[in-house]
């Protein structure tokens, strides 16, 4: 069973997490470090992938600014996505040379690590043949966006746990026109403990990818990548 670090960054600046992922990806490609799963939440930011159609951002610049939403371009697949507080973001930095299967399998692994914890609250949630991620009644609960370089994954999957769904109306989720996003709390009508939800996601991640996981502090992580 392969080892994997788990680091919870807490509420993290989006641009800083991109830099951290880039550093970790380089180290992982050289086998300097083991695989690592980053967990975090971001403040309000719209991210545009390499195939984003700008018309999928539905709010104008003034409305975005008034709501405190920034817009950034990122090197990942997919269309437009949105991060808000209350959304769990999972960034696995994995060297896929050591995994069975191909990219399509990996997307399925990400979906399953989100689906199992979601189903504890929203039993009817599931994958959808029209688009990657987790959906309920054609509303998006979790979205996938990937980047792979030197056989190492970055970016990953985000899960709307207790997100403000009114903010999520600023975009067409993943470029799916006319569709909407929702949250686990909105669909279940129950309060979700983010700490326990994270634990469930990590347990599923370890089970699906057959990982021996160990927590690492943010301080230790930053010391390792800057050392």
Catalytic-role residue among 4, 40, 48, 174 = 174
Q: What is the set of domains in the chain, with CATH numbers? A: 41-209 (3.30.930.10)
Instruction: Please state the pTM of the whole predicted model.
Output: 0.93
* pLDDT over 90 at 169, yes or no: yes
CA distance linking residue 77 with residue 101, whole number of Å: 19
Q: What is the pLDDT of residues 86-100, one digit of tens each?
A: 999 999 999 988 776
* pLDDT over 70 at 101, yes or no: no
Instruction: Note whether 89 and 156 are within 8 A (CB).
Output: yes
Provide, rounded to the nearest whole percent, the portion of the chain with pLDDT above 90.
74
- Greater confidence, 136 or 178? 136
Q: What is the pLDDT of residues 193-221, one digit of tens each?
A: 999 999 999 999 999 988 999 999 999 98
* pLDDT over 70 at 126, yes or no: yes
pLDDT value, residue 104: 65
pLDDT value, residue 145: 86
Pair of tokens at residue 169: 């109306």
- For 39-64, what is the mean pLDDT? 92
pLDDT value, residue 8: 97
174 included as an active-site residue = yes
CA distance linking residue 171 with residue 185, whole number of Å: 20
CA distance linking residue 186 with residue 197, whole number of Å: 15
- For 33-60, what is the mean pLDDT? 93
pLDDT value, residue 103: 61
């Amino acid at each position: 069973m392969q080892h994997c670090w788990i680091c919870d960054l807490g509420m993290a600046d989006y641009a800083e997490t991109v830099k951290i992922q880039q550093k970790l990806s380089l180290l992982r490609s050289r086998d300097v470090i083991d695989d690592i799963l980053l967990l975090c939440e971001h403040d309000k930011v719209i991210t545009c992938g390499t195939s984003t159609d700008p018309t999928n951002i539905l709010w104008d610049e003034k409305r975005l600014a008034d709501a405190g939403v920034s817009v950034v371009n990122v090197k990942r697949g997919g269309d437009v996505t949105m991060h808000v507080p209350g959304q769990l973001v999972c960034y696995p930095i994995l060297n896929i040379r050591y995994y069975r299967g191909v990219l399509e399998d990996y997307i399925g692994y990400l979906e399953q690590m989100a689906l199992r914890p979601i189903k504890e609250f929203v039993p009817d949630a599931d994958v959808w043949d029209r688009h990657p991620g987790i959906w309920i009644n054609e509303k998006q609960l979790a979205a996938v966006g990937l980047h792979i370089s030197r056989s190492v994954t970055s970016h990953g999957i985000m899960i709307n746990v207790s997100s403000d769904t009114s903010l999520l109306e600023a975009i067409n989720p993943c470029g799916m026109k006319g569709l909407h996003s929702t949250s686990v709390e909105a669909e279940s009508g129950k309060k979700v403990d983010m700490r326990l939800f994270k634990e469930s996601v990590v347990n599923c991640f370890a089970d699906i990818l057959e990982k021996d996981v160990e927590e690492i502090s943010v301080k230790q992580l930053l010391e390792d990548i800057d050392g």
